[in-house]
C-alpha cells in the first residue's frame, strides 16, 4: 500500500511537471518575441546612468571655466556717465540753476599677462582631462552592462540545467520504480532517487532567487523591468587575442582614458605652478579713453571739454612672501600628482597582463570543457544503459548526470568570462566603443 501511494504521488508529480513545462514553453515563446537585446539595455542604461551624466556635466562646467580664462585675453570696454540738476547760490547774488553732464568711455587690452596665459593653458588641460573622464565613464557603463547581462545569462543557465536534471531524475525514478516492482533494485535506490529530486527542488529555489536578483541588478542601471533577454550563440569560435601581451600593454599605456586623464591632470598641475611664478612677471595693458564733461568734480559749472587719452600701463610685483610659500606648496602638489600617474601606470600594466592571461586561459578552458562535454555525454548514456542491466548503481547514474551538467555549466561560464575579459581588455587599451556592443548583439539570439 505505501508503495502504491508512493507511485501515485510520483504520477501526479509528473503530470504537474508536464503542465508546467507546457506553460513554460508558452511563456518562453512569448518572452522570446519581446527579449531585450544588449544594445537596447545599454541605451536605456545610458539615459539613466548618473555617473556618465555627472561626467558629461563636468565637461560642460570645465568648458565654461576655460571660456572664462580665455576671456582675459579680450579687450574690456566700459562706459559711464551722469546727468545732474544743480543750483549754485552765493551771498549777495541770486541763485543759478543748471544741468551737468559727464560721459566716459574706456577700452583696455592686456598686451602681456603671463598669469592669464598660464591659467588659460591649465584650463585647457583640465577640460581635456574631464573629456577623458567622460570617455572612461562610458567605458565603465559598457562593462557594467556586460557584467550584469552575463550574470543574467549564467543564472538562467543554472536554472535551466537544474530543470533538465530534474526531468532526468524523474525519468530515472520511473525506471527505478519499475525495477523495484520486479525486485531488481532495492528500496534504497527508490529513496536515493527521491532524495535527489528533493535536493534539486531546493537548488531550484536558490537558482530562482539568484535569477531574480540578477534581473534586479539590471533594473538598477536601467530603471526598467526586463523579463527576458537574448541568449548567446554558444557555437561561435573563441580565439586567442590577435596581438601579443606586450603590444596590449603598450596600447593601454598610450590610449587608456584613465591614464591619459591623470597625465593631463599632471600637466595642469605644472601649469598651476607656472601661474604662481607668473605673478612675478610684469603685466602690460594698453588703455584708450575719452571723457566729456561740462561740470567740475565739485559740481560747479565749467566749459564743455572733450579729453581723449591713450596710455600704456605697467605693473611689476617684486616681493610677496605669500607667493613664495604658494610656489613651494604647488611644487609638492606636482610631485604628488606625478606619483599618482606612476601608480596608475603600474596598476594598468598589471591589470592588462592579468586580463590578457585570463582571456587566453578562457580560450583553453572553452576547448577543454567542450571536449569534456562530449566525454561526459557518452559516460552518461553508458551509465543509463548499464543501469537497465543492473551493472551500475543509482548513485552512479546520478553522478554521471551531475558531471555532465557541471561540464555544460563550466563551458558556458568560460564563454561568458571570455566575453567579459575581451571587453575589459579593450576598455583598458582605450579601444572600447558602442560598436563592440553591436558586434556582440549579432552573436545573441
CA angle 390, 394, 396 (to 5 degrees): 95
Cα gap 410→349, rounded to integer Å: 29
Cα gap 247→251, rounded to integer Å: 6
pLDDT number for residue 264? 97
pLDDT number for residue 25? 46
Asked if residue 43 has pLDDT above 90, the reply is yes
Higher pLDDT, residue 49 or 168: 49
Helix pair angle (187-222, 114-181), 10° resolution: 160
Asked if residue 15 has pLDDT above 90, the reply is no
User: What is the Cα gyration radius of the chain?
Assistant: 39
Contacts of 157 (CB under 8 A, 6+ apart): 408, 409, 412
| 267 touches 339 (CB < 8 A) | no
Contacts of 32 (CB under 8 A, 6+ apart): 228
* Average per-residue pLDDT for the chain: 90
pLDDT number for residue 69? 94
Q: Which CATH superfamily is domain 34-74+112-281+319-441 in?
A: Outer membrane efflux proteins (OEP) (1.20.1600.10)
In the block, cell 551624466 appears at: 53
The conformation of residue 232, written as its DSSP 8-state character, comes to: B
Higher pLDDT, residue 174 or 335: 335
**DSSP tally for the chain: helices H, then strands E:** 10, 4
Q: What average pLDDT does the segment 237-257 reach?
A: 95
Q: What average pLDDT does the segment 375-382 reach?
A: 94
pLDDT number for residue 445? 82
User: 208 to each of 20, 27, 148, how far by Cα in Å?
Assistant: 15, 16, 16
Amino acid at each position: 500500500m505505501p508503495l502504491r501511494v508512493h507511485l501515485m504521488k510520483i504520477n501526479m508529480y509528473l503530470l504537474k511537471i508536464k503542465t508546467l513545462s507546457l506553460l513554460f514553453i508558452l511563456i518562453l515563446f512569448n518572452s522570446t518575441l519581446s527579449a531585450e537585446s544588449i544594445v537596447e539595455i545599454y541605451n536605456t542604461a545610458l539615459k539613466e546612468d548618473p555617473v556618465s551624466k555627472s561626467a558629461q556635466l563636468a565637461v560642460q562646467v570645465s568648458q565654461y571655466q576655460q571660456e572664462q580664462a580665455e576671456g582675459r585675453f579680450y579687450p574690456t570696454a566700459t562706459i559711464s556717465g551722469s546727468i545732474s540738476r544743480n543750483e549754485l547760490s552765493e551771498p549777495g547774488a541770486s541763485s543759478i540753476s543748471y544741468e551737468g553732464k559727464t560721459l566716459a568711455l574706456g577700452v583696455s587690452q592686456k598686451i602681456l599677462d603671463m598669469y592669464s596665459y598660464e591659467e588659460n593653458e591649465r584650463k585647457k588641460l583640465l577640460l581635456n582631462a574631464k573629456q577623458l573622464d567622460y570617455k572612461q565613464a562610458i567605458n565603465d557603463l559598457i562593462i557594467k552592462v556586460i557584467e550584469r547581462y552575463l550574470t543574467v545569462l549564467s543564472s538562467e543557465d543554472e536554472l535551466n540545467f537544474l530543470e533538465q536534471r530534474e526531468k532526468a531524475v524523474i525519468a530515472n525514478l520511473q525506471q527505478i520504480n519499475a525495477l523495484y516492482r520486479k525486485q531488481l533494485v532495492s528500496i534504497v535506490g527508490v529513496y536515493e532517487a527521491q532524495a535527489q529530486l528533493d535536493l534539486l527542488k531546493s537548488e531550484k529555489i536558490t537558482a530562482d532567487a539568484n535569477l531574480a536578483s540578477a534581473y534586479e541588478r539590471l533594473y538598477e542601471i536601467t530603471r526598467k523591468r526586463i523579463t527576458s533577454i537574448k541568449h548567446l550563440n554558444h557555437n561561435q569560435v573563441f580565439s586567442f587575442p590577435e596581438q601579443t601581451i606586450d603590444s596590449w600593454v603598450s596600447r593601454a599605456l598610450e590610449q587608456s582614458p584613465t591614464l591619459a586623464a591623470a597625465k593631463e591632470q599632471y600637466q595642469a598641475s605644472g601649469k598651476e605652478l607656472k601661474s604662481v611664478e607668473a605673478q612675478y612677471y610684469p603685466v602690460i595693458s594698453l588703455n584708450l579713453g575719452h571723457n566729456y564733461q561740462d561740470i567740475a568734480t565739485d559740481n560747479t559749472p565749467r566749459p564743455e571739454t572733450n579729453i581723449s587719452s591713450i596710455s600704456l600701463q605697467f605693473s611689476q610685483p617684486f616681493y610677496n612672501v605669500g607667493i613664495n610659500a604658494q610656489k613651494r606648496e604647488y611644487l609638492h602638489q606636482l610631485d604628488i600628482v606625478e606619483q599618482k600617474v606612476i601608480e596608475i601606470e603600474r596598476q594598468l600594466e598589471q591589470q592588462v597582463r592579468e586580463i590578457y592571461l585570463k582571456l587566453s586561459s578562457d580560450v583553453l578552458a572553452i576547448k577543454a570543457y567542450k571536449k569534456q562535454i562530449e566525454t561526459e555525454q557518452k559516460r552518461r548514456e553508458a551509465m543509463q544503459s548499464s543501469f537497465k542491466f543492473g551493472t551500475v548503481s543509482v548513485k552512479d547514474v546520478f553522478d554521471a548526470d551531475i558531471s555532465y551538467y557541471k561540464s555544460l555549466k563550466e563551458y558556458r561560464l568560460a564563454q561568458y568570462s571570455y566575453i567579459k575579459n575581451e571587453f575589459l581588455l579593450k576598455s583598458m587599451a582605450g579601444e572600447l566603443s558602442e560598436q563592440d556592443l553591436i558586434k556582440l548583439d549579432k552573436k545573441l539570439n
